[in-house]
Amino acid sequence: MNFKEIHVPVLLKEVLYYLNLKKGDVIFDGTLGGAGHTVEIIKAIAPTGKVIGVDLHSQTLSTASTRLEKFSKNVILVNDNFVNIIKILKGLNINSIDGMLLDLGLSSFLIERSKRGFSYIRDEELDMRFGNGSLKASDVVNDYTEDKLVEIFQKYGEERWAKSIARNITVQRKAGDIKTTGELVEIIKDSIPEKYKYRRKGNHSKRIFQAIRMEVNKELDNIRTAISDGFKMLKSKGRMVIISYHSLEDRLVKSSFLEFEGICTCPPGLPVCTCGREKKAEIITRRVVKPGQEEIEQNARSRNARLRALEKL
């Protein structure tokens, strides 16, 4: 894999459009990855604009820095979690931003080159950490109770066979720790009833790997906090653009945006509003934005991308 293949930016034209970029803008890119979006953002806000490029994985950040060398005056790279947006910006003496981008997809770099067990088609150590947190995928698989495994498989993976898979994991680990992705894939495969093995599109391990990864990295909690704190740091007329890739993320983004827009959640027929929601933003994307067929054909990983954007009042 060459460098250009590390990160093909998803919905690039749409990101640039919905961020409504202007010369001199300060943009927080919380998911730097291969810097595909970042390079084009810098071009739009140069010569005086700045991008705060954040990535939790140090090797990803180091690789992206090579691509950004000629833009050094317009980018500040930070090895941290986007959930810490307020701390990051305050540490840089930045009190507000003009835009914020989160591309929540798992980068090609992490899948292909991190060797942290994100992919179910490679036999690697069960790790799945974006950064250097203490909890690993192996801890989840080997130490969580059967009931807890069922809970995360259902909650984060929406997996129909969660109970069967969790039961077989707990049985298998009695003979010794489950250490690799290959071992886990075999357990998952053996947990699916024979007549259902060929009815689902894609690999049966996908949902389980997603669930474990989300548990290890506390992804939904971090997204929720980052949206809330990022909104606080936006200037008036500042924009937030978020690309998600599965229903759990997209529902969270949608509900958060609706809350900022002040949509009343009181039961129908209630004479007086009691939820107390206040309009603080305008949702720019009335319908979720999806990639076109041409982009999907050029970049298959964009297939499930969903973009939402809002503007702070």
**Model pLDDT, residue 111:** 80
d(CA 157, CA 74): 39
Packing angle of the helix pair 12-19, 36-45 (nearest 10 deg): 40
Query: Would you state the pLDDT for residue 7?
Result: 65
Distance of CA 312 to the CA centre of its chain: 22
Mean pLDDT of 220-248: 97
Burial tier of 47 (Cβ tally within 10 Å: 0-12, 13-18, 19+): exposed
Q: Given pLDDT bands bounded at 50, 70 and 90, which one contains residue 5?
A: very low
Domains delineated in the chain: 3-110+219-312 (3.40.50.150), 114-217 (1.10.150.170)
Percent above pLDDT 90 for the chain: 79
pLDDT at residue 106 is higher than 90: no
pLDDT tens digits, 162-205 = 999 999 999 999 999 999 999 999 999 999 988 777 766 668 89
Which residue did the predictor score with more confidence, 35 or 113? Answer: 35
Flag whether pLDDT at 114 surpasses 60. yes
Average pLDDT of span 19-40: 96
